[in-house]
Amino acid sequence: MLFKTSFVAVIAAFAAIAAEAHVSMREPCPRYGQYAGCPAPPAGQSIDYDIRSPIGVYGSANQPLCKHTVPFAKTVRTYKAGQTINVKFDIGAAHSGGHCQFAVSYDGGKKWVVIKEVIRECLRGNINPSTYTIPVKIPKTAPTGRVIFMWLWNNAVGARELYSNCADLQIQGSNGGKLAGKEPVIINYGPNSYSVGEFPNPGDKDGHEYFTSPARKGVTMTVPSVKA
């Protein structure tokens, strides 16, 4: 009887945790996503059925940025420079919104250039999980090449976490060139990150100063041209 009670308690606790979790990118297809239209994971990897879970908290980076580091063998989708990516989400709990960053990398994730930020208002308000979309415009100056497209989210309410997913995309732009901007702001992810508490109310400290700080590092990615 004691075993049954304990077992039921464990199942209930697990269900509560699963129900409380969280958010992932749905389109473009994130690495190892279980969503319709997503390719099979690369050899040696498996579908991530817990893809909505965070990758870390302040003091502990449990998983790497992107959550999964091995890319799909083929790009998921091709976009033209200047085109808009309509990013859709799988939302379990929006945690009163928070900060979102969208970035691209041409070098396998060594350098990232942020191409859009949504401070405080990302996933906030009366959102419909089946239709919630954020438009992210690819810079017109983006060179041609295979890129990693990364989404980062710091939730406003709840455990102080960082969420991340990545998609493998192809950009059609200029033949060679540079893409410059700011590198991502890393909050609540490992001991070397910024620590930001909950910010459900307008006057709460939310860490927005880290995004606007003159000390925030710039980054330039150079893509060599390809001879015809």
Least confident of 2-6, 61-65, 174-178, 190-194: 2-6
pTM, to two decimals: 0.89
Q: Are 45 and 68 in contact (CB under 8 A)?
A: yes
Q: What percent of the chain has pLDDT over 70?
A: 91
Please state, in angstroms and as integers, the Cα–Cα distance from residue 51 to each residue in 23, 137, 217, following that order: 8, 25, 30
Q: Residue 195 is part of which domain span?
A: 23-223
> Is residue 178 situated within a structural domain?
yes
pLDDT band for 181, please (50, 70, 90 cuts).
very high
What are the counts of helices (DSSP H) followed by strands (DSSP E) for the chain?
2, 12
> Is residue 198 situated within a structural domain?
yes
pLDDT band for 198, please (50, 70, 90 cuts).
very high
Please report the pLDDT score of residue 21 as a whole number: 57
> Is residue 90 situated within a structural domain?
yes
Q: What is the number of domains present in the chain?
A: 1
> Is residue 172 situated within a structural domain?
yes
pLDDT band for 184, please (50, 70, 90 cuts).
very high
- Residue 78, token pair as written in the block: 């091709």
Q: Please, what is the average pLDDT of the chain?
A: 90
Q: What is the mean pLDDT of residues 138-148?
A: 97
The CA R_g of the chain, rounded to the nearest whole Å, is 19
Convert the pLDDT of each residue in 9-55 to its tens digit.
333 333 333 444 589 999 999 999 999 989 999 999 999 999 999 99
d(CA 102, CA 55): 16
Least confident of 46-60, 100-114, 117-131, 153-167: 117-131
Whether the pLDDT of residue 176 is over 90: the answer is yes
> Is residue 68 situated within a structural domain?
yes
> Is residue 1 situated within a structural domain?
no
Q: What is the mean pLDDT of residues 65-85?
A: 94
> Which of the 8 DSSP states describes residue 194?
B
> Is residue 3 situated within a structural domain?
no
Q: Are 179 and 221 in contact (CB under 8 A)?
A: yes
> Is residue 144 situated within a structural domain?
yes
Look up the CATH number of the domain holding residue 115: 2.70.50.70
Please report the pLDDT score of residue 148 as a whole number: 98
